[in-house]
Structure 1
C-alpha cells in the first residue's frame, strides 16, 4: 500500500464488508452501472475483478444514503477515483473555507448555501467510503468531519460579516479577511470543539462579541444586529434545500438561553460564568474551541474562563458539583439494561457518554492543579490520565478501544440514511445491516462484541465513584441541562405525579440558571441540584403536584438567599415534608411565605412544634421585637412583621397537628390581643405628641365576636369597641394642638383603625369591624363609658345583648376595664323575658338565612345546624340564665365553655353532647380551612392536600364519612336549636 497521504480507493486489497441482502446488492450494482455510463473510471472498476468493485457494491448496498448520492451525483465517485483521498478532502475543505468569497462584493446567501452543501455532499460521500473501507479509522473520520464543520462555519461567518459591513452595520479591518480582529468569538462546543464530530452530527456553537470592537458602528444596536446575523447563520447551515443541508446548528449552550440574546458581550458572558455558571457548563467548556470569527479573541476568552472550568482547589462544593453532573448524565438512559437491539450507543448504559464523562469528571477534579489534564480529545485525555497516574494504563487502553469501537458503530448507524440518531435498529434485518457495515459475519458476533464493550465501559464507569447507587437518581431520568426538554425526563416527571411535566422542567431550568436571588450563588445551585430528585419525589406524592411545585417556585423566587434553606431541606426530611405540605394543601400559607419569605425563618427553630403558642410564649417575643422601633411607623411595621410571622407559625402548628383547632383559636386571639395592645400604646403616644394628654383621660379596647370569645381563625377580622372616659372638669387636651374630648378620642380611634388595617409594604395587621358599637354605623366610633352603660341598660336590642355575651376588654386603662366589665356583668345578670328572647333570636336567625344563605354543606358557619346556630344557642342560654336562676358566665367566655357550663343546667344531656360534638368538629375543620384557603371549601376545587387535612382534622378516613357526619350533626343541631328556641 502507498504512503498514508497517497491513499486511494483503488488501494483496497481486501473487502471487510458485505451486503446484508441480495436485493440490496442488486440495487447497488444497478446504481453503479447507471453511474458508469459515460464515466470511464467507474466503468473500469465495474469491468475489473478488483476488490474495489466488491467493496463499492457492498457499501452502496448497505447505505441507501450513499446509493442515492451516487445516483444523483455520480461525478463525485469519478473524482474520488481520480486522486488520493487526502488531496480530495483538502481541496474541498479549502474550497469550503473560501465559500464566502465573491468578486469584491458579498454573495447572496443562496450562493453560499449552495457552495457549502455541494462541499458537504462530496466530503460526506468520500469519508463514508474511506471509513467503511478501513482506509481511514474513526480518529481520521472524526477529525476530517470536524475540520469541514469549522471551515463551513468560518465561511458562513465571514460571509455574514462582509454582508453586514456592506449594509453599514460593521466596519471591517480587512474586507479580504472579514473575521480578523472583529472581536466576534465563535466557539465550537462538544464534539466539534474536541474535533470528534460524528458522521451526521449536529454542531453546538456559542457566539460572543466585544462591544468595544471598532468593527461595531452602532454598539447599542449590537444585540439586534447579531440576532439577525445568527438566525441567518443557522438558516445557511441547516435549512434543507435541493442540495441538502450542511449541519443542524444549536445555539442553546450560550449562557441562560431562555433569557439571553443569541449573542452576548464577552464581559457579560464572563460575569455570568463567574457568578452563575452551572456544573454542566463547566463540563461543556472543557471541549470548547474557537472555530470561526476572531480566533485570537476566542483563545483569549477561553484563557480567561479557565478558572471557572478548572477550579484551583478541590473543596466540598466542587465535589458536590461533580456529583450532580454525574447523577444527571448517569440518569440519562443510564438505568436501562444492557441490550443490543434498540440500545442507545451514545447515551445508554456503557455508551459513549459514560466514557466521555469518565474523562471529564476527573478533568474537573484535577485539571485546576494539573494543566496536562486540560485536553479536549477523549483518547488524548485517557492517555494523559494514565500518564499522570490517575488511572492505570489497562483501564485507559480498554476505554480507548471501547470508545473507538462505539464511535464506529455510531457512524454506521448514521451512514445508513444520514440521520442524527444513536439508536441501534430493533429489527433483525436492520441490525444485520449494521453488523455487515462493521465487518461482522452475523448479528450474533456483533452482539457479543457490542455487549462485551458496553460491560467493560459500565464496569469502569461504575468504579468512578464508590457510592454509585446513592449518587444515581432512583426515580428515573432527571436531566435539566440545556434548553430543550429531555423526553425521558418528561416521562419520569409524569410517572412521579406531575400532569404538566414540560412546565415543571422549565421551572427547574429556571432554578439552574440562577434567575432568582436564592439561586444565584454556585453553592446554592449545587445544594438545590442535589435536592431536586428528592424534592420532585416528595412533591409528586401530593395530589395536584404541579400547583404545589409552582407555589414552591414562587416561594424560592422571593427568597433573598437560598443556600441555608436548601442545605436544611437536604438534611431534614421533616422540614421538606412540611414545605410540601404547605405548598400542596395551604395556598394561603404558601402565598404568605412567597410574599414575606422572612416568616419562614421561624420554621427553622427546632423547638417550634414542641412549644405551645400561649400568651406567655408570644408576649416577650412581640415586646422584644417592637422595642427596637425608632418611631411610630417603624413600630407599626415591626408589629406587622412579627404578627405575620407568629400567625404563620401558629398556622404551621395547626397544619402539622401540633395544636388543635380550639388551641389555634385561642392562640390567634392571644396574638391579636397583644398586637392590638401594642398598637394602642403606639397610637396614644403619637396622639400625645401632637395633641397632648387629655386630663383624666382613659381608654379601653373591647373585643367582640370571635375576638372576644377567643375563637379567631387565621383569616378573621377583629370586632372592636373603643371606650373612653375623662375628667368632667376638662374641656380639651393639653398639647400644642388641643382637641375637645369627642374629637380627641375619635382621633385615637381613627388612628388605631388605620394602624391596624391600613395597607403598607408589610401588609396589614387586621381588618377592623366596629359595627358592634352602640348604635352601630350610625353611632360615634368612640363611646364614653357612661354613654355605653346607659345604652346597654336602656336602648340596646336583644341582638346587641347577645353580642355582649362575647365582649371582653383586651387592653387599656385597668380602672376603665374594671368599670366596663362591671357593666357587662350587670347587663348580663338581668332577668329577661324568655319568650321575647326566643322570639327575637328566632327572627334574627331567619333574617340571616334569608340574607346570607349557606353555600352548601361545607359552609359550616351558615348551614342550618352550623356554627351560627350553635353560637346562638350558647348566647341565648347566657341571656336567659338569670331568669332560670342559673349563674351567668363572665362576658367573653368561649362558646365551648358557655355551652358546656350553661347547657349542663339548661339543656337535655344528649342534646348538649351533640351540640358539643358538632361545635368541636366544625371548629376544627373551620380553623384548617381558614388557614389554608380564602373563601369556602369545595372538595372538587380544593388543593388535594387540604382534603386530606380536613379529614384528619375531624379524624375521618375519607371525605365520604366526614360529609355523612356533617349532615348528621348539622341536622341534629338544627333540631336542637329549633326545640330550644320554640321552648
Structure 2
C-alpha cells in the first residue's frame, strides 16, 4: 500500500489538489490530448522541466487537467500564458496556494514603495492565478460551491483592501489627508467601502462584478479639510475603480459597479454619510432595504462602516411586523413577478440567476422573510442565504423540508452558474442554447451527458418555483398577467425588457431608466416612502394601460412629465389604484391626447377635478359652471388674485369638459356649448374685475354701459378646447359726459380704449397660471384699423351704412356674452335688426361664393383632415347658414346663432328635407371630429401618423367601424356638401 501511494504521489495524482480530483470527461478526447500537448510544449519553452515531466507521466490528475483544458477555454488560455500556475502546485496543493496568494494580495497594500502601475500589474497576476486555481479546485470537487464562493469573495476583499490602502497612503503622502498610522492606512481614515450583493454575503460568483458603495465621514480625524472631502473621495473612488477594472496586458482584477449607491444618476461616486443616512431614511426604496441586508464593510474604515450600518438598522429592520412591512414585501414581489405557470421549463438558454426557479427566487424568498421578521428577531439579520434558511427554520418561519430543499437547490444552481462562467470567464447566467454548449456544462458538473443534467436541472427549478410561489399565495394582486418587472438597481433586467416589449414599448431600456427615476424619489410626488410604495404597486397596471394605447413609449414619457410637475402623489396613486376606469382614462390622455397631456403636465392641479365623484354625472351647463365659478371666487377680492383664479378655473374646467367628451359623457355639440358658456362666464368675470380695478384710478364715465359681443365660434356656441375668442367691445355713455371721474380722468373714447386694452391684457397676457383666452378683435368695425372699443352709435352706423356682405355674414353668429344687461338687450335687438334687413339673394350668394373661392385660393386645406378649409367642409356649411340667415330663409321662432340649428331650420323654399338632413349630418360629423382633434392635438392632425388612441376616438365620434371607412365617409360627405353649396348658392333647383 505504501508503495502504491508513493507511486501515485510521484505521478502527481494526489499532491496538486490535496486529494485525487473528481473524474472529468472532456467533450473531445482528441482535443483534450492536443491541449495537454500544447501545455507541455509551453512549459518546456519556459524551462519548467519538473512540470513537463509530471504532465508527461500522465495519471488521474493529468487526465483531469486535460479534460479541464478542453472544457474551459478560460483555463486553457490561463495555463498557456502562465504554466507557472501549475508548477507551483508541485510544491504546494492548490487550496494552500490559494490561501498564500490571498495573503500576498493583502500584503500588497502595505508595501510602502509600490507604484500604482506595479500594484495594478501584481493584482492582475495574482488574481489570474487564484481564479484559475479556484476553478480547478471547483471542477475537481475539492471545493464545494460554498467553499468556492467564499474563496472568490476573500480574493475580492483582499484586492479591494490592497487598492484602498494604497490610495489612502498615496493621499497621505500628497498631504490630502493626515493618516493616524500610515502603516495601517484604513484606520480612522473616514473612507467607507460597503460590499453589496453577493460580495457582501461572501457569496461571489466566478465572473461576478463586485458591487460597492463608497461613503466618507467628513468628521473623521484623517480628513484635514472637510470642504475638499467630496472631491477627494470621489477622485479616490474613481482611481479605485480604475485599479480594479481597467483592462491592461495583464487582464483585469474585478469589474466594479457603483450603481447601487443612492440615486446613482445624480449623486457623486462617494457620498457623505450624513447625506446617505438622510436619503435612506427619507427616500430609500423597498429594494434598497432588501439590498442593505447583505451590506458589509469590506475595506477602508471598517469601524466607521459598521457604525454607519448600525445607524441604518431602523431603516432596514422595522420594529413591528405591521402592514407597512408586509406591503413593502408585496411591492417588491410585484416587481419580480412570480411565475406560476405550468408546463415544461426550457433548459437551453435558461437564466440560472433570474429565470423561473432560479437563484434570485431563493434569495428573494429568504430576504422577504427577513424583512418581515428581522425587526423583532436579530438572528434573522444575517447576510448569507443558506445560513438564513436555517435560522428561518429554527424560528418556525419555514419548514425544515423547505430549508433543506432550498439549500440543496441553491448550491446546485450556484454550481451550474460557476460552470457557465468558467467556460470563458464571462459574466453570464444563461445556459447555452446549443447542444454542444449544454453538453459542456453537463460534463463540467460531472454528468455523463446533457440529458441527465437537464433532468436534474429542471427538477431543481421546479422545486424552487413551488416554494417561491407558495410564499406569495396570499399577496394581493394588482395585475397577474404582466410578466417580469424588475426596476431595482441601475441595470436592466433582461426579462423585464422582454416584458416591456411584449406590452408594446419600443424602447424598453429607456422606459426602465424612467421608472427607476420614479423610484429614486427625485420628483416631489415620489419623495415620500408611502407614495413610492403606492406607485410601485400601481406600476404593472400603469404599464399595461399605456401599452393598450398602442403608443406606449409616448404615453409613459408624457406621464413622466406629468409626474415631474405633480406636487404630491399619494392621493392620485391611491385614486388610480382603486379606480381602473380612471387609470385607463389617464392612459388614454397620455397616449391619444398630447394637448390634454400638455395641459396637465404644465398645470397638474387641473387633474384635481377628477377627484370629484360626481364629475361624469353632472352636465357642464351654464348653471353648473356659474355655480362652480361663484364658489371658486368666493372670498377673493384682490384684482390679480381674481384673475389668477379665473385662469385656474378655466383651465380646470376646459380639461374636465374635454374629459367628459373623451369618455362619451357628453357629445361634441354639448362640449361646444360648455366651452362657450365657460368663456362667457370667465371673460365676463374678468371684465367686471378690470372695470372695478380701472375705476379706482380713473373713476367712471357718466351713464357708462359696456358689453362684449361674441363673434365666430364663441357667438355660435361652437368653441373647441383650443379656440381663441372673437369679440367686439361696445360701449355707451351719457351725451353730456366729457371725461371720467377719479384722480386721473380720461375722455370717454380714451377711457374705453384703455379699459379694453386692460381687458385684453388681463385675459390674454401669459402669467404663471397661463392665459385665460387669446382674444381676436379683428371683426370689429374697420378691423385692425379701427379703435379697439366701439361706441354703439358708431357700430350702428357702420353696420347699416358701411359694412360689407362678409361682415353681415359674420354678424349672423354674433351674440352678447357679457356686460350690462339692459345694454346687452339693446345690442341684441340692433344685431337682429341688421341681420333681418332685406337683401337680394343673388347678390349675397354671389359675394359668398367669391369669398369662398378667395379663401380656397389663399388658404388651401392642408389635407383631407383640415375640416374647416377643405372644399365641402365647415366653411361651406357656415357660409350656407349665414347666407340663409341674411336672406330670411330660416324657419322657426327667434333668431339663432348656432350653425347646426340654422342648417336644421333651413326653409323648404331654400333647401329641401334631404338637403337639410345632409347638411345637418355633415355638420354633426365635422363638429364631432373637430372637437376631438382640437381637444387632443396641439397642431394639425398628421394623416401619416395618427396615434392609435386618437384614431379610436375619431372612429367612435363618427360611429365608423375603422379609420379607412371614416376617410371614405369624409370624402363622400365633403363632396356632397360642396355639391349642395354650389347648388344652394346659385339657386339651382337640383340642390333642393
TM-score range, shorter chain: over 0.9
Distance 1:248 1:428 in 2: 30
Distance 1:200 1:243 in 2: 17
Name whichever of 516-525 and 465-474 sits farther off.
465-474
Distance 1:898 1:385 in 2: 80
Name whichever of 222-231 and 912-921 sits farther off.
222-231
Distance 1:655 1:47 in 2: 83
What residue number does 1:199 align with? 206
Q: Kindly tell me: are residues 579 and 55 of structure 1, through their superposed partners in 2, closer, same or farther at Cα, counting changes over 3 Å?
A: same
Q: Indicate conservation of the 8 Å contact 2:330/2:476, yes or no.
A: no
SS of the equivalent of 1:213 reads coil
SS of the equivalent of 1:463 reads helix
Does residue 803 (structure 1) correspond to residue 807 (structure 2)? The answer is: no
What residue number does 2:318 align with? 311
What residue number does 1:263 align with? 270
What residue number does 1:936 align with? 940
Distance 1:897 1:47 in 2: 105
Q: Kindly tell me: are residues 863 and 448 of structure 1, through their superposed partners in 2, closer, same or farther at Cα, counting changes over 3 Å?
A: closer
Q: Indicate conservation of the 8 Å contact 2:191/2:217, yes or no.
A: yes
What residue number does 2:641 align with? 634
Does residue 392 (structure 1) correspond to residue 402 (structure 2)? The answer is: no
What residue number does 1:100 align with? 109
Q: Kindly tell me: are residues 335 and 592 of structure 1, through their superposed partners in 2, closer, same or farther at Cα, counting changes over 3 Å?
A: farther
Q: After superposition, what is the alpha-carbon deviation per residue over 1:661-714, rounded to whole angstroms, capped at 9, x for unaligned?
A: 111111111111111221111112112222223222222221112111111111
Distance 2:667 2:43 in 1: 92
Q: Indicate conservation of the 8 Å contact 2:595/2:936, yes or no.
A: yes
Tell me how far 1:96 sits from its aligned partner. 0.5
Equivalent residue in structure 2 for 1:465, among 469, 472, 486: 472
What residue number does 2:752 align with? 745
SS of the equivalent of 2:194 reads strand
Tell me how far 1:262 sits from its aligned partner. 1.6
TM-score (norm 1): 0.94
* Pairing of 1:216-227 with structure 2 (within 5 A): 216-227=223-234
Q: Kindly tell me: are residues 586 and 133 of structure 1, through their superposed partners in 2, closer, same or farther at Cα, counting changes over 3 Å?
A: closer
Equivalent residue in structure 2 for 1:926, among 927, 930, 939: 930
Q: Indicate conservation of the 8 Å contact 1:864/1:974, yes or no.
A: yes
Equivalent residue in structure 2 for 1:585, among 586, 592, 602: 592
Tell me how far 1:429 sits from its aligned partner. 4.1
Q: After superposition, what is the alpha-carbon deviation per residue over 1:429-483, rounded to whole angstroms, capped at 9, x for unaligned?
A: 4434433333334444433333332222222222212147947853333222222
Does residue 324 (structure 1) correspond to residue 331 (structure 2)? The answer is: yes
Distance 1:320 1:525 in 2: 12
Does residue 527 (structure 1) correspond to residue 534 (structure 2)? The answer is: yes
What residue number does 2:385 align with? 378
Q: After superposition, what is the alpha-carbon deviation per residue over 1:747-779, rounded to whole angstroms, capped at 9, x for unaligned?
A: 222221111111111011111112222222222
What residue number does 1:826 align with? 833
What residue number does 1:89 align with? 98
What residue number does 1:296 align with? 303
- In structure 1, stretches of 5+ residues that fail to align are none
* Pairing of 1:835-854 with structure 2 (within 5 A): 835-854=842-861
Q: Indicate conservation of the 8 Å contact 2:337/2:483, yes or no.
A: no
Tell me how far 1:351 sits from its aligned partner. 2.1
Distance 1:739 1:841 in 2: 42
Distance 2:478 2:667 in 1: 41
Q: Indicate conservation of the 8 Å contact 1:332/1:479, yes or no.
A: no
Tell me how far 1:238 sits from its aligned partner. 2.0
Distance 1:447 1:851 in 2: 75
Equivalent residue in structure 2 for 1:733, among 708, 715, 740: 740
Does residue 73 (structure 1) correspond to residue 87 (structure 2)? The answer is: no
Does residue 559 (structure 1) correspond to residue 566 (structure 2)? The answer is: yes
Q: Indicate conservation of the 8 Å contact 1:680/1:752, yes or no.
A: yes
Tell me how far 1:87 sits from its aligned partner. 4.2
Distance 2:478 2:62 in 1: 53
What residue number does 1:475 align with? 482
Tell me how far 1:616 sits from its aligned partner. 1.0
Q: After superposition, what is the alpha-carbon deviation per residue over 1:108-157, rounded to whole angstroms, capped at 9, x for unaligned?
A: 32200111122212322332333333333222222122111101001111
Q: Kindly tell me: are residues 741 and 406 of structure 1, through their superposed partners in 2, closer, same or farther at Cα, counting changes over 3 Å?
A: same
Q: Indicate conservation of the 8 Å contact 2:330/2:475, yes or no.
A: no
* Pairing of 1:887-966 with structure 2 (within 5 A): 890=894, 893-966=897-970
* Pairing of 1:331-730 with structure 2 (within 5 A): 337-467=344-474, 470=477, 474-730=481-737
Q: Kindly tell me: are residues 879 and 208 of structure 1, through their superposed partners in 2, closer, same or farther at Cα, counting changes over 3 Å?
A: same
TM-score (norm 2): 0.93
SS of the equivalent of 1:609 reads coil
Tell me how far 1:188 sits from its aligned partner. 0.8
Q: Indicate conservation of the 8 Å contact 1:101/1:159, yes or no.
A: yes
Q: After superposition, what is the alpha-carbon deviation per residue over 1:872-916, rounded to whole angstroms, capped at 9, x for unaligned?
A: 1111111111xxx97786555211222222334532332222211
Q: Kindly tell me: are residues 886 and 320 of structure 1, through their superposed partners in 2, closer, same or farther at Cα, counting changes over 3 Å?
A: closer
Q: Indicate conservation of the 8 Å contact 1:317/1:526, yes or no.
A: no
Distance 1:48 1:977 in 2: 106
Tell me how far 1:364 sits from its aligned partner. 0.8
SS of the equivalent of 2:423 reads helix
Distance 1:846 1:36 in 2: 95
Q: Indicate conservation of the 8 Å contact 2:283/2:520, yes or no.
A: yes
Q: Indicate conservation of the 8 Å contact 1:330/1:472, yes or no.
A: no
SS of the equivalent of 1:98 reads helix
What residue number does 1:186 align with? 193
- In structure 2, stretches of 5+ residues that fail to align are 1-7, 988-992
Distance 2:735 2:22 in 1: 122
Q: After superposition, what is the alpha-carbon deviation per residue over 1:236-283, rounded to whole angstroms, capped at 9, x for unaligned?
A: 212233333211111111111122222221111111111221211111
Q: Kindly tell me: are residues 91 and 776 of structure 1, through their superposed partners in 2, closer, same or farther at Cα, counting changes over 3 Å?
A: same
Q: Indicate conservation of the 8 Å contact 2:478/2:537, yes or no.
A: no
Q: Kindly tell me: are residues 942 and 33 of structure 1, through their superposed partners in 2, closer, same or farther at Cα, counting changes over 3 Å?
A: closer
Distance 1:232 1:177 in 2: 20
Distance 1:728 1:471 in 2: 73
Q: After superposition, what is the alpha-carbon deviation per residue over 1:328-374, rounded to whole angstroms, capped at 9, x for unaligned?
A: 33469999943434333222222222211111110011111111100
Q: Indicate conservation of the 8 Å contact 2:884/2:890, yes or no.
A: no
Distance 2:479 2:171 in 1: 49
Name whichever of 10-19 and 387-396 sits farther off.
10-19
Q: After superposition, what is the alpha-carbon deviation per residue over 1:377-418, rounded to whole angstroms, capped at 9, x for unaligned?
A: 112111111111111222212222222222222223333333
Q: Indicate conservation of the 8 Å contact 1:344/1:422, yes or no.
A: yes
Distance 1:912 1:803 in 2: 21
Distance 2:39 2:944 in 1: 70
SS of the equivalent of 1:327 reads helix
CA root-mean-square deviation: 2.7
What residue number does 1:130 align with? 137
Q: After superposition, what is the alpha-carbon deviation per residue over 1:796-839, rounded to whole angstroms, capped at 9, x for unaligned?
A: 22222222221211222222122212212322332223333233
Distance 2:340 2:108 in 1: 40
Distance 1:500 1:87 in 2: 50
Q: Kindly tell me: are residues 889 and 365 of structure 1, through their superposed partners in 2, closer, same or farther at Cα, counting changes over 3 Å?
A: same
SS of the equivalent of 1:187 reads strand
SS of the equivalent of 1:253 reads coil
Q: Kindly tell me: are residues 340 and 794 of structure 1, through their superposed partners in 2, closer, same or farther at Cα, counting changes over 3 Å?
A: closer
Q: Indicate conservation of the 8 Å contact 1:106/1:163, yes or no.
A: no
SS of the equivalent of 1:244 reads coil
SS of the equivalent of 2:108 reads coil
SS of the equivalent of 2:941 reads coil
Aligned residues: 974
Q: Indicate conservation of the 8 Å contact 1:328/1:478, yes or no.
A: yes
Q: Kindly tell me: are residues 443 and 759 of structure 1, through their superposed partners in 2, closer, same or farther at Cα, counting changes over 3 Å?
A: closer
Q: Indicate conservation of the 8 Å contact 1:673/1:810, yes or no.
A: yes
Distance 2:829 2:862 in 1: 40
Q: Indicate conservation of the 8 Å contact 1:12/1:52, yes or no.
A: no
Equivalent residue in structure 2 for 1:63, among 66, 72, 78: 72
